[in-house]
Amino acid sequence: MKGPLFYSKILLFGEYGIIKDSKGLSIPYNFFNGALKTDGLETDVAIRSNANLKKYVAYLKNINPELVTFDMEALETDVNAGMYFDSSIPQGYGVGSSGALVAAIYDQYAHHKITVLENLTREKLLVLKTIFSEMESFFHGKSSGLDPLNSYLSIPILINSKDNIEAAGIPSQKSDGKGAVFLLDSGMTGETAPMVQIFMENMKQEGFRRMIKNQFIKHTDACVDDFLRGDFKSLFLNTKKLSKVALNHFKPMIPQQFHELWKKGLETNDYYLKLCGSGGGGYILGFTEDIEKAKLSLKDHKLEVVYNF
């Protein structure tokens, strides 16, 4: 048995801000994917994944049945038979590894599931987000539910606020476009929970709260609007502002060896870097008006182009 594929995701804009009701924009990233399998493979990865699934099954038993119920008998039978999540999605990289697993479990075992084939009203999206938030909290302590939502539906999601999300149409890619969004591999994994903890601690200071509201959220919202409108000139101006705020106020989330690289982008305008997910490692997201120039400027690093315009 091999279940359907669920893809990774990239939160283009909204990291940390969406905790405080900024806008956000999340897109599927088909380069990585995962699927549930029961092919009796005894690899280390399969054994580890299966052991995790056993713990996860115990957690799912305690989810509010008014929210969602699962075919527990089938799930337990499959997990006991060695089912695991076969995934190419790197863990701790901010591209939604646990989200894809949650989406796969919901798709396979949830009763009365909401499917991508029906008319996805805002209400249905919110119900799904709430379910996924509960399901994914097992992995992160507290989850917004957005990663699994993106993975499950495989469509761009626009977050207007916590209680207002919708499927979004994004400008179509230009395969020959010089402008690009890219991923930069930091070469180390990041843990979501401690990074969010640092952010929450900082939020207790009035100065930091003010900066989040008047700068970080303002620039994030502007970037989302620019991107959806296809106004890339304005997008780069706002992304630069966002990149600067991150360097000044989110230093713990940026791996030490990237501080200079971050600054270099702001000084040369060859590229602008921003956090991809919670940071602390994993991928860093880059924006450039000229991908060849950015590649030259970052020649010691591996760039993965996500989107051309």
160 and 44 in one domain? Answer: yes
Residue carrying structure tokens 């509010």 = 64
The sign of the dihedral angle between the CA atoms of 260, 181, 6, 59 is positive
Is residue 288 over pLDDT 70? Answer: yes
Is residue 1 over pLDDT 80? Answer: no
Give the contacts of 169 (CB within 8 A, at least 6 positions apart).
156, 228
| Structural domain range at position 71 | 6-167
Which pLDDT does position 222 carry in this prediction?
97
95 and 25 in one domain? Answer: yes
User: Using an 8 Å Cβ cutoff, are 294 and 303 in contact?
Assistant: yes
- 107: nearest Cα among 29, 165, 36, 46: 36
- Distance separating alpha carbons of residues 274 and 193, to the nearest angstrom: 19
265 and 140 in one domain? Answer: no
Residue 117 included in any domain: yes
Lowest mean pLDDT among 35-44, 97-106, 123-132, 234-243: 35-44
Residue 97 included in any domain: yes
Is residue 203 over pLDDT 80? Answer: yes
- Distance separating alpha carbons of residues 201 and 147, to the nearest angstrom: 24
- 92: nearest Cα among 255, 283, 246, 304: 283
User: Using an 8 Å Cβ cutoff, are 148 and 22 in contact?
Assistant: no
Q: What is the DSSP letter of 2?
A: B
- pLDDT tens-place string over residues 171-199: 888 878 899 999 999 888 888 878 888 99
Q: What is the DSSP letter of 253?
A: G
Residue 175 included in any domain: no
Span 220-237, average pLDDT: 95
Which pLDDT does position 139 carry in this prediction?
86
Domain boundary among 112, 132, 167: 167
Q: How many domains does the chain have?
A: 2
Is residue 211 over pLDDT 90? Answer: yes
> What are the DSSP E strand ranges found in 168-242?
180-185
186 and 163 in one domain? Answer: no
- The pLDDT > 90 percentage for the chain reads 71
300 and 213 in one domain? Answer: yes
Domain boundary among 167, 189, 204: 167
105 and 233 in one domain? Answer: no
303 and 184 in one domain? Answer: yes
222 and 120 in one domain? Answer: no
Token pair for 256: 């030490």
Span 199-215, average pLDDT: 94
Residue 1 included in any domain: no
Please report which confidence band the pLDDT of residue 241 belongs to, taking 50, 70 and 90 as the band edges.
Answer: very high
Residue 275 included in any domain: yes
Domain boundary among 167, 191, 206: 167
Residue 174 included in any domain: no
Instruction: Give me the DSSP letters along 113-134.
Output: ---TTS---HHHHHHHHHHHHH
Residue 173 included in any domain: no
157 and 204 in one domain? Answer: no
The sign of the dihedral angle between the CA atoms of 16, 140, 305, 300 is positive
137 and 22 in one domain? Answer: yes
Q: What is the CATH number of the domain that holds 96?
A: 3.30.230
Is residue 142 over pLDDT 80? Answer: no
216 and 240 in one domain? Answer: yes
16 and 132 in one domain? Answer: yes
Buried b (16+ CB within 10 A) or exposed e, 139-177: bbeebbbbbbbbbbbbbbbbbbeeeebeebebeeeeeee
Residue 16 included in any domain: yes
Q: What is the CATH number of the domain that holds 209?
A: 3.30.70.890
